[in-house]
Amino acid sequence: MKKLFGTSGIRGVVWEQITPKLIMDLGLVFATHLDNSGSVVVGKDPRLSSGMFESCIVSGLLSGGCDVKRIDTVPTPVVGFAVRRLKAKAGVMITASHNPPQYNGVKLWDSSGMAYTSQLETEIESIYFDKQMRSVSWDSIGRIEKVEVLGSYIDEVVAAIELKHEYKIIVDCGNGSGSLVTPHLFRKFGCKVATLNSHPDGTFPGRGLEPSPENLGELCKAVKFTGADLGIAHDGDADRIAAVDEAGRVAQADKLLALVAAHQICQKDNVVVTTVDASSVVDEVVGRYGGKIMRTPVGDVNVAAAVKKHDAVFGGEPSGAWIFPSFHLAPDGALAAVKILKLLDSTGKKLSKLLDELPDYQTARKKLACPNSQKAKVMEKFGLKSKEFSCARVSQIDGIRLEFKDGWVLVRPSGTEPYIRVTAESKSLTRAQELATMAIKILKRCIHN
């Protein structure tokens, strides 16, 4: 089956996988999927190619009879917000998230402000590949309206969360679209805000766009030397978050997720959704607060769908894509930043203290080369062999996860590269490495026999 969509929309290198023709066709395909009627919100990130692709998607949508509400450069979650606020039928975001500047892509949103699920993406793909798109006659072509939504988005977040104290914060938006929201949002809360890389620049000169420790050295230094309470970083389209504590350390992503998830629980058995690759620290901490964990395949759309289905209080991936369904179903970096501040405000503790109170888990990661054509067969063989282990539980939600009393190991084929990836976790590093080595040994046998 031919595919357009990956784990988070359509993405690729400009002029290679992503061309103006593709994006214009996609606009018409999307309009066809929406029965050639209704309005569609269109937003973009600050990439140099985003204006060109915005025009292409808009042309495609108009030619298919949809009206367009252009909201210009915004963080991705603001498209989800705007769809509901403007009572639109759907939304489109032109972005390649954390990928380098020569990439771009498209992410689609439904009328509830949730990203398109893989099922809806398959419907789009069949219209595209079967060439079923329908344009409309000259007198039914859609109309464009320019709408400003950032102000109302900021006002709604401020209205939804109450902070008793004021804080000193350093924000690093990586020159992405978070620059237009997060610093302003914190100032509305009365915080003292200093910024790094927080003017939109589509060449992303400041740092790598992934908000991972190797890209956050400057932020760590800035937090420590200015005596700030918190450092916040986003990826290029600000649907993800990373935080730096007041000691200048990047917060371990799983621990931060566990901490914030646990604080969303209001009553026993509230559901928290996370992905198969998240650390057991999430189960342990959420369990202490009386919550229940539901795991999904990797990908923010899978998390959002499970949050909706199980009426969860929180959903999050260790990558920093967090969903707070009381506000909306879009992973939202700016909202996540305010929720971290809310945590400091309600506990009265420093972030370093809150993180250091949590249990430590050790992770071992390995990968094994495996041609894409062999992945399915190797995984099937590994599944059969895994029955020989005396593990407490085998989960096949996404890849194969073997759970033992003292740790777990997850074996997953990479979606984009010719590898099978192995992640193991335990409270002891030796045990985590032992589990990863064991899985690699079995995988090698599955590949060669």
The residues that are catalytic are 97
Residue 239 within binding range of Mg ion, rule CB under 5 A: yes
Phi-psi domain of 228 (left: phi exceeds 0; alpha: psi -120 through 50; beta: other): beta
Minimum CB distance to Mg ion, residue 98 (Å): 6
Q: Is 235 a residue that touches Mg ion (CB under 5 A)?
A: yes
CA distance 264 to 90: 28
Strand 271-275 with 292-296, pairing: parallel
Stretch that binds Mg ion, among 43-51, 230-238, 297-305, 404-412 (CB under 5 A): 230-238
Report in angstroms how near the CB of residue 96 gets to Mg ion at its nearest. Answer: 9
x-or-dash string of contact with Mg ion, 187-226, rule CB under 5 A: ----------------------------------------
Min dist. Cβ of residue 173 to Mg ion (A): 12
Least distance from C-beta 107 to Mg ion, angstroms?
Answer: 9
SS3 400: strand
Residue 396 exposure: Cα atoms within 13 Å on the Cβ side: 7
User: Does residue 125 touch Mg ion according to CB under 5 A?
Assistant: no
- C-beta closer to Mg ion: residue 252 or 319: 319
Q: For the chain, first and last CA: distance in Å?
A: 28
Q: How many residues bind Mg ion (CB under 5 A)?
A: 4
Judged by beta carbon, residue 173 or residue 223, the one nearer Mg ion is 173
Cβ–Cβ < 8 Å for 39, 146: no
Closer residue to Mg ion, CB minimum distance, 64 or 206: 206
Q: Is 36 in the site for Mg ion (CB under 5 A)?
A: no
- CB 411 → Mg ion: shortest distance, Å? 26
Nearer to Mg ion, 25 or 317 (CB): 317
SS (H, E, C) 226-239: HCCCEEEEECCCCC
- In the region spanning residues 78 to 97, those forming contacts with Mg ion, defined by CB under 5 A, are 97
- Output 97 or 270, the one with its CB closest to Mg ion: 97
Q: Does 345 bind Mg ion (CB under 5 A)?
A: no
Euclidean distance between CA atoms 399 and 393, whole angstroms: 14
Token pair in block for residue 58: 């808009």
Query: What CA dihedral angle connects 308, 313, 316 and 321, to 10 degrees?
Result: 80
DSSP of 67-123? EEEEEEE--HHHHHHHHHHTT-SEEEEE--TTS-TTEEEEEEE-TTS-BPPHHHHHH
Q: Does 39 bind Mg ion (CB under 5 A)?
A: no
Q: Which of residues 97-116 bind Mg ion (CB under 5 A)?
A: 97
Q: Which is nearer to Mg ion, 307 or 402 (CB)?
A: 307
Tell me if 237 contacts Mg ion by CB under 5 A. Answer: yes
**Binding segment toward Mg ion, per CB under 5 A, in 83-91, 209-217, 236-244, 375-383:** 236-244
Q: Is residue 357 classed exposed, middle or buried when 0-12, 13-18 and 19+ CB atoms within 10 A define those classes? A: exposed
- Residues engaged in binding Mg ion (CB under 5 A): 97, 235, 237, 239
